[in-house]
Structure 1
Amino acid sequence: MKAIGIILAGGSNHRMKELTRKRAIPAMPVGGSFRCIDFALSAMSNSHIQTVAVLTQYNARSLNEHLNSSKWWDFGRKQGGLYLFTPTVTADNQDWYRGTADSIYQNIDFLKKHHEPYVIISSGDLVYKMDFNKLLEYHIEKQADITVVCKDMPAQTDVSRFGVIRMNEEFRIVDFEEKPLQAHSNTISAGIYVFRRRQLIEMLERSAEENRYDLVQDIIVRYRDVKRVYGYKHKEYWANIADTQDYFKTNMEFLKQGIRNYFFREEPKTYSKIADLPPAKYNIGSKVTNSIVASGCIINGTVESSVLFKKAFVGKNCVIRNSIILDDVYIGDNSHIENCIVESKSTLRPNSYYCGEGEVQVVCEQFERYML
């Protein structure tokens, strides 16, 4: 592969509420057995990108633990590999990453010491599959300086929180507005970009000299009329996790057979760190319908249209409906959970009742489970 990869995984987001108090969004569990960052890592591995850097910053411990071995994504090579970069205080720099462009600039030696002609950059909070070889072929065919992967959203979608793009007949980007008050297109940036490596280095150095720190606003948008910037339409599944509603919807979509087969069964596969846990156990009296139940779970009650992550315990006579139960949650007997996201390691007392009204409720309870 003629490209190196960069995954941006360091941003904070208050719209995820309690869910990002102890982890970054790229470390959020997805689909029963994945972390959000697994999709970008798998796409790069499946596209034979051998050298990938992950830039972390906010609440990075959980993410660092997940990435402590590169073998799960087949990056454990003598040539290339998986690099993990966090902000570093040096004699020349005392700052944390001040933006996406600054995070790459502070690790610009990674770009300079490699010789691949292209760089593929992906956000770490996306759920998708992509063949980056086809993306790079398109980039070369168009003789582009920058290629932005974009996605046509359904007409009723609120696109005001995305970067909104307009292209001409040749797919050259003529307008790129980040989070517009009023959108004039339903085509959005998917958070994946291709740059020529040497040119990216030049633009990053110039932006740093001018105290500009954002990859989209200060490089892509700013150079839109100067450089050859093209859009590449991604027509397969794509989701961005930016708030609790996005997170809930994305996990619920894994209950659809087509989406589930796309990620679980169809090639190329999505890879993740494997936990050595026993299969889920369904005791007498349990009933599970239209749900994903991960390894290590013990089910004694009723689970309907829900996603249960690893080591969840559901007590007797419980009803779990239309909910997401994260890792290592204990739910006491006779409890009712509906339209909720239960944070990992939570302990819910017997006879608990939680029901999201209007919007999804995030439940965080830290009772001492062994005293119940």
Structure 2
Amino acid sequence: MKALGIILAGGNNNKMQELSNKRAISAMPVGGSYRCIDFSLSNMSNSRIQRVAVLTQYNSRSLNEHLSSSKWWDFGRKQGGLYVFTPTLTADNGFWYRGTADAIYQNIDFLKRSHEPYVIIAGGDCVYKIDYNKVLDFHIEKKADITIVCKDMPVGTDVSRFGVVRMNEESRIVEFEEKPMVANSNTISTGIYILRRRQLIEMLEKCAEEERFDFVNDILIRYKNMKRIYGYKMDSYWSNIATVDDYYRTNMDFLDPKVRSFFFKQEPAVYSKIDDLAPAKYNIGADVHNSLVASGCIVNGTVENSVLFKQVFVGKNCVIKNSIILNDVYIGDNTHIENCIVESHDTIHANTYLSGEDSVKIVHERNERYIM
């Protein structure tokens, strides 16, 4: 592959409420056994990108632990590899990452020491599968300065929290507006970009001189009339985890057989760090319908339309409906949980009733059995 990869995984998001109190968004569990960043890393690996940097910052401990071994994504090579960069305070720099462009600029030596002619930049908070080789071929064919991977959202979708683009018949982007109040298009940027490495270095250095820190506003939008910026449309599944509702919906999407087949059965595969856990155990009295149950779980009650992550214990006579139970949760007997997201390492005492009425309820009992 003629490109290196950069995954932006350092941002904070208050819209995730309590779910982001102890982990980065990129470390959010997804699909029963994965983390959100696994999808971007797998896309890089499957596209034969050998050198990938992950830029972490906010609440990055669990994310750094997840990335502690590069072998799970096949980056354990003599050449290339997986690099994890956190903000470093030096005599010349006393700042954390002040934006996406600043995060890359503070690690500009990684770009300067590399030899690949192109750079692929992606976020760590999206769930999707894509072959970056096809995007790069499109980029080269169009002789583009920058290529943005875009997606047409369904009619009626609120796109005001995305970057909204409009393209001409040649796929060249003629309008780019970040988080518009009123959108003139339903085509959004997915936060995946391709550009030349040397050009990126020049743009970053120019931004740093002018104390500009945001990649979208200070590079993409600022240069949209000066550079040849094209849009590559993807037509497969893509989801951005930015709010509690997004997170809930994304996990519920994995209950759809088509989505499960796309990610779990169709090549290329999605990779993640593997835990040595026993298969899920269903005791007498267990009744499970349309649910994902990860390894290490023990189920004694009823589970419907739900996602249970690793090492969840469901007691006798329990009913769990339309809910997401994160890792290592103990649910006592005779408990009813509906329309909820239960935080990891929680203990739900017996005879408890939890239900989200108007919206998804986040359950965090703050009675962790272990010191984190």
| Equivalent residues of 1:24, 1:63 under 8 A apart | yes
Q: C-alpha offsets along residues 214-267 of structure 1, whole Å, 9 cap, x if unaligned?
A: 000000110000011000001110000001000000000000000001111110
Q: Secondary structure at the match of 1:26?
A: helix
CA-to-aligned-CA distance 1:302-345 (integer Å, 9 cap, x gap) = 00000000000111100000000000001111000000000000
Quick check: 1:238 aligned with 2:243?
A: no
Corresponding residue number in structure 2 for 1:44: 44
The answer for the alignment partner of 1:270 in structure 2 is 270
What residue in structure 2 maps to residue 292 of structure 1? 292
> Which residue of structure 1 aligns with residue 195 of structure 2?
195
Give SS of 2:188's match: strand
The alignment's TM-score, normalised by the length of structure 2, stands at: 0.99
* Whole-Å separation in 2 of the counterparts to 1:46 and 1:368: 38
Q: Which deviations, in whole Å up to 9, do the C-alpha atoms of 1:2-61 show, x marking residues without a partner? A: 000000000000000000000000000000010000000000000000000000000000
Q: What's the CA shift for 1:369?
A: 6.2
Gaps of 5+ in 2: none
SS at match of 2:328: coil
1:342–1:364 contact (8 Å) kept in structure 2: yes
Matches of 1:30 and 1:364, distance apart in 2: 18
TM-score (norm 1): 0.99
Residues 177-209 of structure 1, C-alpha deviations (whole Å, 9 max, x = no match): 000000000000001000110000000000000
SS at match of 1:139: helix
The match for 1:182 is 182
**Following the alignment from structure 1 to structure 2, what is the Cα–Cα distance between the partners of residues 136 and 54?**
20
Mapped pair 1:359 → 2:359? yes
Provide the identity percentage: 72
1:139 counterpart residue number: 139
Structure-1 separation of matches of 2:360 and 2:368:
25
Match of 1:21 in 2: 21
Matches within 5 A, 1:1-372: 1-367=1-367
Provide the secondary structure at the position in 2 that maps to 1:190.
strand
Cα displacement (A) at 1:358: 1.4
How many angstroms apart in 2 are the aligned matches of 1:367 and 1:252?
27
Q: CA deviation at 1:367?
A: 3.2
Shift of residue 366, structure 1, vs aligned partner: 3.1
Matches of 1:279 and 1:265, distance apart in 2: 19
Distance 1:273 1:43 in 2: 15
Q: Distance in 1 between matches of 2:353 and 2:293?
A: 21
Counterpart amino acid of 1:361?
A: K
Number of corresponding residues: 370
Q: Is the 8 A contact 1:33 1:309 kept in 2?
A: yes
> What are structure 1's unaligned runs of at least 5 residues?
none
Asked if the contact 2:290–2:305 (Cα under 8 Å) also holds between the matched residues in 1, the reply is: yes
Deviations 1:151-191 (A, max 9, x none): 00001100000000011111111110000000000000001
Q: Following the alignment from structure 1 to structure 2, what is the Cα–Cα distance between the partners of residues 71 and 26?
A: 19
Q: Equivalents in 2 of 1:184, 1:256: separation in Å?
A: 31
Contact 2:345 2:369 in 1 (8 A): no
Distance 2:190 2:369 in 1: 42
**CA–CA separation in structure 2 for the residues paired with 1:143 and 1:214:** 25
Q: Distance in 2 between matches of 1:332 and 1:324?
A: 16
Asked if the contact 2:28–2:35 (Cα under 8 Å) also holds between the matched residues in 1, the reply is yes
**Alpha-carbon distance in 1 for matches of 2:80, 2:273:** 20
CA distance in 2, matches of 1:53, 1:72: 15
Distance in 2 (alpha carbons) for counterparts of 1:367 and 1:216: 41
